[in-house]
Amino acid sequence: MGKFIKRSGTAHCKFVKIKLGKKYTNKFRITFVRGKSMDRSDLVVPNENNELIFDLPFDPQCLFFVAHNKKVRRKNLKVVLHRFVSADTQKIFGEVDIDLGQYYYDAEPISKDFTMGSKHGAKPILTFECYVSRRRKARKHPERTHERVSLLEDRYLDSSTYEPYVQPSVKIKPAKGDPIESDSDFKSESSSPPPPPPEEPKPEPAAQPPPQPHLDSEEEEKKEAPEEEPKRQDSQGLLKVKSLVQKASAGITLSRMPKLRPGIADANRLDVPGIFRKLLTQPIPELIEVSFMDPDTQSGKFPSGLYPIYQTMLKSKLFTTSIDSDFFTESMNVFYELYPSAPLVEPCDTEQRFLTTLVLLLITNLHSAQYGFLPERTSDFFNHMLSLLNEYAREIIAPIILDFEALVNTFSTARFDVDDLLGRFNEAYDAALETFHFLPSVNLFLTKSLNNSLDAIMLNKILINPARFAFSRAVAWNSFLTACLTTKQLDFPLTRQCVTCLMMAVNIATDQSKEGDEDIRSSVCPDLDPNLIVYLLKNYKPDNMMEISINYRLIAQKLGVKDAVKYTPVKPAELNDFQFAGDNIRVAYWSMVKPDPKLVQEFPHLSTK
């Protein structure tokens, strides 16, 4: 497996300016995201040269992964340019992903121009400066990058004990067979166990001539010349054993003879770890012929990096009993290490990574039953990739989240006109959904991810000020949440459960239900951590609408919480179901492509002939 050394450093970035292709009178703003940190510029109007002047510094701390050949793994910075078409309506005008890893060896500012992806004819050009100041030792949490508190994950000085709700393991339903694919050479071998490993030869004492490994009858006829160079048709495994035996006979002490993997002598076995190291460390050439996720409307191209990656998994029979567990683990460890930062294609942005990851999940699920994939192997793959899918979805919606900051702040005060706040919130929400330009089922996945992020943001804004933990404030919050549910079927479950907990604080604190019976707390806030519930009740204050004080110690004892002095901000809930995102994707068309001939020449198993 490729070795990487972790190096901590600070990327000193500067967004200098953006050159627009023509004259605009609108105001513009840039938002940028590195890891879990995000920030944005002030509103800027183009000057007489059609340029947006920012001169905005950004100094994220990063953990760089440096290989022995001095190559640096990609460290992505996403930049989005917004154009305000009216006072409260904005559109995404352009976006670009910048690899901060390319500046790792630069000790002085390096200025480069980046052409931003845009639907407009004249692409905006970003002038960007960066250099990296390196430190010898990496910090324990290097990804906490920016001084500004992230809106998605507020941090507080007194928060250390509350752990967020942990989602259950992924359970995947078997999918139907692929009606179009024609991988005739791939057959399930779940019924036949892998061949046993060959016997390990034992070295003789140094005084004895080196023993020869067991050869077939044809080779025994040729053993008159033992010093002769082994012929090409000898298997790789036999050559390895023979070399080790000869070393032992020369007096070299071997602690143990390594076991050979079953089938290692098979010349047709794909070197999956080596293939992954090549495919995932350099841009994959664009497809010569593409295929569409929706062939009827010719929309939604399958990402170019998908075919070579999954074809390698499929042709190698990686998920079946044909491959022993050690080789599977070695191959997938290489994949898990390199895939998150793989270039995939040029240029590669978060949307490409998101789509590639999603379709990899969908195809693997489709083929699980058809080709007899081992459940324990696909389950491990699903868990790894689903975590990345959620991460990429949050990166896509991160710039959108900033547009809700003022609205969430108003909500957290519990002093607002419901109709006014609801109207502004709905406008921002509708504008956010318009930025999703994938197939409808894929957009639905991003919408659910957006809802989960908004849910966590709203709850964290409530928790930041315990002085507001009162019945009257909870009633105001509840009225807005109910209006969202009624008008747009928008539900924010964690925030709603927190608000309900405060509204029913007296009932929860005095609940005398017996052990084994469902108590009030379990019915009104089943997904909240016990420590957070005690924190809410401990800081609950009576007011003119509910003047009864409560004693939180009874419920604290019942929940096994000693004292909730601190808490940790709630993180967005992850989506554990990805299959609905493929409802509009014709997954069977994934292989109806033609890869680049040079790629096929290097990796013959990618041939479509």
Q: Are 565 and 532 contacting, i.e. CB atoms less than 8 angstroms apart? A: no
Q: Are 428 and 87 contacting, i.e. CB atoms less than 8 angstroms apart? A: no
pLDDT at 14: 94
SS3 readout for 385-429: HHHHHHHHHHHHHHHHHHHHHHHHHHHHHCCCCHHHHHHHHHHHH
pLDDT per position as a tens digit, 548-579: 888 888 888 888 888 777 788 999 999 999 99
- 142 contact partners, CB below 8 Å, separation of at least 6: 8, 61, 62, 63
DSSP letters for 55-103: EEEE--EEEEEEETTS-B---EEEEEEEEESSSS-EEEEEEEEEEGGGG
Report the run of H or E that residue 361 belongs to, with start and end: helix 350-370
Q: Cis link prior to 347 (omega < 30° from 0)?
A: yes
pLDDT at 576: 92
- Single out the residue of 477, 480, 472 nearest to residue 422, CA to CA: 480
pLDDT band at residue 512 under the 50/70/90 scheme: low
Average pLDDT over residues 401-428: 94
CA 122 to CA 115: how far, in whole Å? Answer: 10
User: Which amino acid is residue 503, in one-letter code?
Assistant: M
Structure tokens at 97: 């992903």
Give the CA distances from residue 354 to residues 65, 78, 366, 438, 478, in Å, rounded to whole numbers and listed in that order: 22, 14, 19, 11, 35
CA 140 to CA 379: how far, in whole Å? Answer: 30
- SS3 of residue 344 by DSSP: coil
Check: pTM over 0.85? Answer yes or no: no
Residue 78 has pLDDT above 60, yes or no: yes
pLDDT per position as a tens digit, 434-489: 999 999 999 999 999 999 999 999 999 999 999 999 999 999 999 999 999 999 99
pLDDT at 135: 67
Which domains, from first to last, does the chain contain? 4-134 (2.60.40.150), 202-216+229-256 (no CATH), 272-398+586-606 (no CATH), 399-559 (no CATH)
pLDDT per position as a tens digit, 110-141: 999 999 988 887 899 999 999 999 865 433 43
pLDDT at 137: 45
Percent of all residues in the chain with a pLDDT value above 70, rounded to a whole number:
76
**Of 509 and 334, more confident:** 334
Strand 292-294 to strand 299-301: parallel, antiparallel, or no bridges (unpaired)?
Answer: antiparallel
Hey, how many other C-beta atoms are within 10 angstroms of the C-beta on 400?
24
| Least confident range of 98-102, 397-401, 464-468, 517-521 | 517-521
> What's 557's DSSP letter?
H
pLDDT at 539: 92
Average pLDDT over residues 52-66: 90
- Single out the residue of 522, 529, 485 nearest to residue 504, CA to CA: 522
Structure tokens at 347: 């240029």
pLDDT per position as a tens digit, 172-205: 444 444 444 434 344 433 334 444 544 444 444 4
| Least confident range of 53-62, 155-164, 348-357, 396-405 | 155-164
The per-residue b/e assignment along 334-353, b for 16 or more CB within 10 angstroms, e otherwise, is bbebbbbbbbbbeebbbbbb
Percent of all residues in the chain with a pLDDT value above 90, rounded to a whole number:
54
Residue 1 has pLDDT above 50, yes or no: no
Q: Are 533 and 525 contacting, i.e. CB atoms less than 8 angstroms apart? A: yes
